[in-house]
Structure 1
Amino acid sequence: MEFNDFLKLLRRKTQTIVAILLVVTMMAILVSLTQPLKYGVSSRLLVTQNSDNTDAYSLSRSNEYLGNLLATVVYSGSFYDKVLNSKYNVDKNYFAGEYSKQLKRWNKTVLTKTKQDTGIIEINIYHTKVAEARKIALAVNDILINSNQDYHGGKNVEISIIDQPLASSYPVKPNLLVNSAMAFIVAFLFSLFYIYVFPEDKYSLYLFGKKNVKNKKRKKVKSNLGEISIKSDLEYEEIPNLQENIDTEEELKGNISNIIR
């Protein structure tokens, strides 16, 4: 299919594209609204090492490595156990069920990020209750600061808080704007694929019904039939005139033949 033909197809299938966009986007919003609303608490930690015999570049790379390592360790079962058994009285009922399900929920509760070449760890906690999210954030920071040596073999490693846990005023999950935007993009690409694979009118989707289109086609057909009937009437009117001309020529021929005789 050439590009110009595809543009014509886009104009002809506008309602199909819009219908797919609306349906998919609305479904994404409805699915997002069925999920529990969660608040977020974020904090940042800095990993540093005290070493006089190491150059600055190697020290920076080492801090980055330790930051990535500790950010990954937060998702582990041993770290999760320490959070539940910490002094911050984290609600254990929120993580009820089998241990595998508890870890699955824990991995949805915590999110860690690291910034390259800095040794900075960003800790994000998501919970349906702001107070519980703050407790978990404090427990995570406390364990990383005071028990980080359990997860690495480095020496003179220090972790300090550069941003205290800060809670959001409104729920941050699910993110309706992001989910809607992603659904819109996916729906648009799918609609282009749909009309390309199924260009026939029988596969078209209509937002305002198909009656208007049919009525327009019927009007055009009726108008064409009217033109045809008018033209046919003119042709029938012209036929007698032709016959009169033929009779006149025959009379002239008869008169000429009589004179010659």
Structure 2
Amino acid sequence: MNRQELAGFLRGRRERITPADVGLPAGPRRRTPGLRREEVAQLAFISTEYYTRLEQARAPHPSREVLAQLSRALRLTDAERDHLHHLAGAPPGPPPGPSREVRQSLVDLLDRLPEAAAIVVSATYEVIAWNELAAALMEDFSVLPRRDRNLVRRSFLGPEPNARALYGSSDADAFVRTSVQQLRATAARYPNDPEVTGLVDELLAGSEEFARIWAAHEVAARPVLCKTFHHPMVGPITVSCDVLDITDRDQRVFIYTAAPGSSSAEAMRLLSVVGTQRMDVPG
């Protein structure tokens, strides 16, 4: 444990955070930048005395639980969290479960793609961010409970008669096989995460098809480069499918684009205007 470096790191991280960043009032007579020590202690659920001793390089070795609480209180990035653990002499272990936190820069990127439908999925195929055109092309994810935003669950256990062909897509067979392969790799990375193991158990119990593909132990997925959505209002839309891996968050961005000048591009433009409203409802 490097007490001096740990103390300096904690002070530096504390001073960069404003009370507004964590929902606290600024209040009068704030003589130092950032948060007060007692505010960090409150956010981390530890005593002010213990946190003060950490910043004074006088505290005993913090537990992993305390380090996790400090990481949340100080809004540390993944790299900063790992650094904090190393300074405390407790090298970080693997993350407990797939990250669902989407970087703001990624959210901004989705909004800057007006002619493309784009979604961000977690390691378990949960849709965790999307732009307006994706909501129009696929569905309005904002009205769905979190459980129903998981594309693997929807494919194998959805209530729709042909649930596996999500949104009328042409690559249903390839998607279900790829999603199982990806989920198997995810389960290996997060063997102790209850959400991951619970999802796998639920799918094994509820779908013979999932159980059969799972039993094959395949982990090499083939990319889908082109697919067709059969939209209920504008008809078939053929798009290219590009996938960007966000390795530090174990997430992926799916970007769907239509060929310029094609009828699918015209349909995408129409969807960007109409959005998620139904076109067959009289005004």
Tell me whether the two structures share a fold, i.e. TM-score over 0.5: no
Q: Which one has a bigger Cα radius of gyration?
A: 1
The answer to which structure has the higher helix fraction is 1
TM class by shorter-chain length? under 0.3
